């Protein structure tokens, strides 16, 4: 990814319901990939939830453990709720599933609705939603990581072409 001095950072916000499982995992994985690509100074990354259930809490311990097994840190990520300012601030607002996408579209000002997309639209597979692993076992968190890694690669490739 090459950018001139005049270009601003591209900003990406990952969104799920509570911001303790899927979206902080996406933030951590995508940040890891961006750092490996040497593009950390070109891309701003954050995550948030459509609900305020867990504001201020760290990611779910199972999500953190699964990510750490793959060399990805979720440290220093704390749950927050999507704010109205996020729609102006971020270039990409990527929902983990259709329900959260619809909630984002309901909240987004008309001029920023085009920024809201499904995260898995950047993945090569047929799946469109990252399933919520919260009420399941450890295998669910591994599946979420698989999907997030695929979409993160696709997103990074897309951003590097722009």
> Rounded CA gap, 123 and 134, in Å?
22
> Rounded CA gap, 2 and 10, in Å?
12
16 among known catalytic residues: yes
Residue whose token pair is 């090569």: 124
Catalytic residue among 97, 99, 132, 143: 132
Catalytic residue among 21, 22, 62, 80: 22
22 among known catalytic residues: yes
Q: Are 20 and 60 in contact (CB under 8 A)?
A: yes
Catalytic residue among 16, 31, 97, 103: 16
Q: Are 25 and 149 in contact (CB under 8 A)?
A: no
Residues facing 122 on adjacent strands: none
> Rounded CA gap, 133 and 135, in Å?
6
132 among known catalytic residues: yes
> Rounded CA gap, 67 and 26, in Å?
10
* CA angle (123 as vertex; 82, 1 as ends), nearest 5: 80
> Which residues belong to the active site?
16, 22, 132
């Amino acid at each position: 990814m090459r950018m001139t001095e005049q270009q601003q950072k591209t900003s990406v916000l990952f969104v799920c319901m509570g911001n303790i499982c899927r979206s902080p995992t996406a933030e951590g994985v995508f940040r890891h990939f961006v750092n490996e690509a040497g593009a950390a100074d070109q891309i701003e990354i954050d995550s948030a939830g459509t609900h305020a259930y867990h504001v201020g809490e760290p990611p779910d311990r199972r999500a953190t453990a699964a990510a750490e097994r793959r060399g990805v840190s979720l440290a220093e990520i704390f749950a927050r709720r999507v704010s109205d300012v996020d729609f102006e601030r971020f270039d990409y607002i990527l929902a983990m599933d259709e329900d959260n996408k619809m909630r984002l579209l309901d909240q987004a000002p008309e001029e920023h609705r085009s920024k809201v997309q499904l995260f898995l639209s950047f993945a090569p597979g047929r799946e469109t939603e990252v399933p919520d692993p919260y009420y399941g076992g450890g295998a669910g968190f591994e599946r979420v990581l698989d999907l997030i890694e695929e979409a993160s690669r696709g997103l990074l490739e897309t951003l590097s072409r722009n």
